[in-house]
Amino acid sequence: MGDMIALEKRYGATNYAPLPVVLARGEGVWLWDDQGRRYLDMLSAYSAVSFGYGHPRLLAALNEQAARLAVTSRAFYSDRLPPFLARLCEITGMDRALPMSTGAEGVETAIKCARKWAYVVKKVPEGRARIICCEGNFHGRTSTIVGFSSEAQYRDQFGPYSDGFVRVPFGDAAALEAAITPETAAFLVEPIQGEAGIIVPPEGYLTQCARICRERNVLLIVDEVQTGLGRTGKLLACHHEGVKPDGIILGKALGGGLLPVSAFCAREEVMGVFRPGDHGSTFGGNALGAAVGLAALDVLVDERLSERAATMGAYLLGRLRTIASPVVTAVRGKGLLIGVELDPARVGARQFVETLLKHGVLSKDTHGTVARFAPPLVVDREQLDWGVERIRDALREYGPVYERAA
């Protein structure tokens, strides 16, 4: 283990601070390190591994397509992309889909599309389009996206930043309404904020936002890169309130945990502003990614993983809330996207996830005070019970742990 860590530290850029474990193999919800020790994955690569490791249908799709055709670029048609696009539109309820590779690319695509829509359709004066986003947002790491982040480290010494973005408090529909002007093109929002600490907005928030945007002729664009494709117990997190946005950004789980696959899906009027040459990606929509993405969508529906996430998520949330510990100040989430808030005076989140690592559970800290628990959607009750007992053991290292009434 030490050799691999030392080698990465010697030759890799120091833009990550990984937990001290070298992973070598995965199967289902389990991972093994290079010493053969087993861990329960409670991170799912930030929702990218929602189907678990080595899902046979996804591996079959990957291997069969890789042997036939992988990348040709979008200079030509392929026989794999059209059915993938059709399935994306069917599942999201949108009219058209534009495939990319990473979630951040999906967000950049949405930004470009919203701006052009503002000029072509809404008739905003050229160069004046504004996009409203939220405090605490996380939409990616590109230079444009970090420019409208409220996280100091994401912005520090990476400027100058792109103009045209306005931030409002998350969960406050009145603040959104007050921020809209005739130059507002879109409201870009996560249904649940992941990197901010698994922040769930008040009930009805997204519904109010949709109404406001519709009344004020502003696009509602929902970033479902982390929350989409079953993670929160619905196929899309916006479905919890029956909201149909103007555009949806997908990624992470769309690649089945095997490849980077993302997409921006939107209504005809919105996506219709693009013309050949306006936007593109060498790898976006490649035959291999399309084949795996299509298989991932089929597995999601066929195995009823959204419903499974709702059931298992409610069970996990309930079990975590029965743990009474002076270290834990809050437990929140939806589906299998759960955050445990820790008292920073007693233990830092990084220290706690390192303790979890010793007990065989892989998690990750976020926002300094939160440990996230987001296992693959294929997890079962017995595996969750095993994980909860390991979480209890880790908490006991920082104080007494009691059972709270459910």
**Tell me, what's the pLDDT at 406?**
65
* Catalytic entry in 51, 84, 116, 138: 138
**Tell me, what's the pLDDT at 290?**
98
**Tell me, what's the pLDDT at 405?**
74
The position carrying tokens 């860590």 is 5
pLDDT tens-place string over residues 114-146? 999 999 999 999 999 999 999 999 999 999 999
**Tell me, what's the pLDDT at 404?**
85
Distance CA 305, CA 8 (A): 36
Amino acid at site 179: A
- Please enumerate, as own/partner, the contacts of 312-317 that have beta carbons within 8 Å and a separation of 24 or more: 312/336, 312/377, 312/379, 312/380, 312/381, 312/384, 313/232, 313/233, 313/337, 313/338, 314/233, 315/381, 315/384, 316/373, 316/375, 316/384, 316/388
**Tell me, what's the pLDDT at 9?**
95
**Tell me, what's the pLDDT at 2?**
79
CB of 224 within 8 A of CB of 248? yes
Distance CA 329, CA 350 (A): 16
Residue ranges, the chain, pLDDT below 70: 406
CB of 313 within 8 A of CB of 233? yes
* Catalytic entry in 33, 41, 172, 223: 223
**Options 3.10.20.310, 3.40.50.880, 3.40.50.920, 3.40.640.10; CATH of 56-302:** 3.40.640.10
CB of 195 within 8 A of CB of 150? no
Domain boundaries, the chain: 2-54+305-403, 56-302
Q: What is the pTM of this model?
A: 0.97
pLDDT tens-place string over residues 263-297? 999 999 999 999 999 999 999 999 999 999 999 99
**Tell me, what's the pLDDT at 35?**
96
Distance CA 350, CA 19 (A): 9
pLDDT over 70 for what percent of the chain? 100
* Catalytic entry in 116, 252, 334, 364: 252
138 is catalytic: yes
Distance from the Cα of residue 136 to its chain's centroid = 14
Judged by DSSP in three states, 302 sits in helix
pLDDT tens-place string over residues 80-114? 999 999 999 999 999 999 999 999 999 999 999 99
Q: Which residues of 298-324 are buried (b: 16+ CB within 10 A; e: fewer)?
A: ebbeebebbebbbebbebbbebbbebe
How are beta strands 402-403 and 364-366 bridged, if at all? unpaired
* H-run or E-run covering 67: helix 56-68
163 is catalytic: no
**Tell me, what's the pLDDT at 135?**
98
**Options 3.90.1170.50, 1.20.58.220, 3.90.1150.10, 3.40.50.300; CATH of 2-54+305-403:** 3.90.1150.10
